[in-house]
Structures are given as C-alpha cells and as structure tokens.
C-alpha cells in the first residue's frame, strides 16, 4: 500500500478548516484573544503603550519611578508587626523599596535574587535609594527559591514572591521576543512558579502571610498557581484586601478586578497600570494537621 505523505502530523490541511497559528506574533494574538475575547483589541492597544510610572518617594533618598500596580502588590504585603521579611525574587528592586519603606523599626528584610546580574542591579538600586539606617537592615542574598526550603523552614513572618513570568507587555515591545513566543513558555513558567510558591510557603511561619504576584496575563500563571496552593495546604487561607485598599493616592486610577483567587490590574481599565496579578494568602496558625 502506498504511504500517503499527508498522513504525517501537520502534513495536510482539511478543506474549510483554518489551521490556527501556535507560535510567533499570530500565535500570541490568537492565544490571548481566546482568553480575553472581545476585550482583547482594547487591552492589546493599552499594552502597546508605555506604562506610566509615578514617582514613589516614601522613606527614600530620592523618588523611584514605579508602576502603580507594582506599588499595590508590594503594599498588600502585611508587614506591620513583622520582624523577618522576605522579598524572594527581588530584582530590580522597586517592590523591595516599597516594602522597606513600610517595615517597622527593628524589622529585617531579606532581598533575594538568584540571578547574579540581576542581583548586582538590585544592590545598586538599594544603595542609591535607601538611607543608611534602613539599608543596614536589608540583607541581599542569592538563593535558588525553588530549593531554599530544603535547608530552612518556617523562618519568615511574611514573604513577597513576585515570580518570573511571561511579561506580555515586554514581549510586545520586543520584536525578537514576540517572534519566538510559544504557548510552551507559559507552561514552563507555571511549573517554575509553582516550585517557587510551594517553596515560599514552607519558608513562611504559621500566622504569617504571603503575596504572590506576576505581571502576566494568563490564568495559568496567576490564579491556577494560587489555587494549587490552596488545594494542597489546608492551612492556606485567601485574604484579599478590600476595595478601600486602593484608595491610596499612590494607586490612583487603579480599577481592581477580583477573581476567585486574586486581583487583576489591567491597563485598559486602570489608566495604563499593569498588567499585574496578586494574591494574599495567610498561613493559619491554629491549623492542626496531626490527624
């Protein structure tokens, strides 16, 4: 029997059915159009415009320009009354500055960044913007967040995990990144995000809280990662801030979109701020898993 070369996967097109692109610019637009549907053209237009970054100056030597969405996610970390604070993926340092400006006297902040190059940038930002007394209470480390919990457990009162993500706004601004985009990027990042989040959870003390954030659009990198944590750990409790939290003048224009597992800030409805997803999860101190 003569073998039909068109039996090979992808070797033929069925008449009347359009083959969907899976990578590159067309694949990117098709993928996110499937998520946001009729909203996508407006959101895409907002993403291609430069994000406004107002100056953040509270407790700093000079203003640092930072997205209002980033200020919101870092401000959601419950640092009041906490003494041991961790920013797990801290570079370039903007969110670290927000946390440092809010921590109590005597509190200590660990700013961790695994990448050597990004860690050098983080150190430069902290040295340039923080006054000496506050800078003296910050330790910069270079641990692999996915492996850290193998050596330490329950050692921080609160943790910010601003996880590496798809960063679609950056992809759209870089022709090379856009041309190389594939859906597998999201899948691979979600695996790493889960490794970081589950590791951070083990570093968190009972009674403490954790903020998980990304600047990604895909639910797979956002809510689904959080839901996995909530499903696995019975001591994990979602505790999102109320809408009044966003009345802070530094967050002017933000329109929070609440989901079942976090908050989305998207630039088409938030005066150009975002995208940003964040969730606040508390580790229940009274939970007893002995049975």
By the 8 A CB rule, do 188 and 253 touch? no
Q: What is the distance between the alpha carbons of residues 162 and 173, in angstroms, rounded to a whole number?
A: 21
Pick the catalytic residue from 165, 177, 215, 271: 215
Residues 6+ apart with CB under 8 A from 286: none
215 is catalytic: yes
Q: What is the DSSP letter of 149?
A: G
Among 9, 29, 62, 76, CA closest to 183: 29
By the 8 A CB rule, do 112 and 104 touch? no
Bond into 275 cis (ω within 30): yes
DSSP letters for 210-250: EEEEES---TTTTHHHHHHHHHH-TTEEE-PPPGGGGGSGG
Strands (E), 48-113: 55-56, 64-65, 84-87, 108-112
User: Which residues have a catalytic role annotated?
Assistant: 215
């Amino acid at each position: 029997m003569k073998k039909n070369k068109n039996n090979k996967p992808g070797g033929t097109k069925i008449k009347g059915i359009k083959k969907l692109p899976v990578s590159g610019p067309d694949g990117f637009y098709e993928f996110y159009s499937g998520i946001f549907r009729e909203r996508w053209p407006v959101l895409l237009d907002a993403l291609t415009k430069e994000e406004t970054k107002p100056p953040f100056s509270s407790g700093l030597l000079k203003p640092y320009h930072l997205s209002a969405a980033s200020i919101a996610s870092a401000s959601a970390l419950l640092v009041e009354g906490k003494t041991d604070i961790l920013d797990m993926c801290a570079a370039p340092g903007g969110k670290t500055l927000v946390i440092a400006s809010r921590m109590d006297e005597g509190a200590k902040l660990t700013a961790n960044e695994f990448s050597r190059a990004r860690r050098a940038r983080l150190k430069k930002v902290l040295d340039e913007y923080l006054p000496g007394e506050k800078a003296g209470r910050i330790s910069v480390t270079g641990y692999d967040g996915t492996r850290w919990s193998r050596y330490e457990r329950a050692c921080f009162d609160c943790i910010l995990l601003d996880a590496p993500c798809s960063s679609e706004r950056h992809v759209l601004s870089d022709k090379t990144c856009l041309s190389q985009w594939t859906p597998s990027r999201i899948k691979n990042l979600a695996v790493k995000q889960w490794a970081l989040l589950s590791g951070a959870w083990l570093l968190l003390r009972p009674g403490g809280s954790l903020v998980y954030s990304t600047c990604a659009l895909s639910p797979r990198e956002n809510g689904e990662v959080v839901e996995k944590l909530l499903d696995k750990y019975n001591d994990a409790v979602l505790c999102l801030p109320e809408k009044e939290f966003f009345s802070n003048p530094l967050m002017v224009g933000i329109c929070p979109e609440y989901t079942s597992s976090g908050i989305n800030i998207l630039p088409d409805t938030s005066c150009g701020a975002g995208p940003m997803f964040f969730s606040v999860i508390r580790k229940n101190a009274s939970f007893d898993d002995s049975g």
